Amino acid sequence: MLTHDELIFCIQQEYPEAVHGTDFWVFHLVSPETSEQLSDAQIYEWKLASPAPTEEGLKALVQKHGAAARTFVLARDARAERERRLKVADTLVYKAMDAGDMERMRLAGQYRQALRDVTSLPGFPVEFAWPVIPDALSELMPSNDQAAAAETSGP
């Protein structure tokens, strides 16, 4: 199903001057109970001087740019997840440093570097594996639920 982010990407490939939220708006239907997307994204409003793409024109745009759009969205989301995980990794480094534990500092630093290198892994952003927090660092993990899920969250 075509998401609004994917449609925005496709439109902006053909209309690079177009700004979503200013020149055009897109939407898709969602379930009121689950917030699950129910329909392909569509153009809601078009304010550019050039005519809005027709339904056939949109299909052609998606055919032409859809794969790149999906990759773009996956990469954006993976980078956001990496930033979240890097904050947890920083906490691990600081806690090991505060404890004066050189071995844990080394392990936390290696984990943090592995997170930085995620974008250069083969298969990124479609098929790749997140680095795993070393077991020796588990007791240094921040206690909040979001941070504790760092090793299992992701695409």
pLDDT, position 148: 47
pLDDT, position 144: 64
Count of CB atoms within 10 A of residue 49's CB? 5
In the predicted model, residues of the chain with pLDDT beneath 50 are 145-146, 148, 152-155
pLDDT, position 39: 96
In tens, the pLDDT along 51-82 reads 999 999 999 999 999 999 999 999 999 999 99
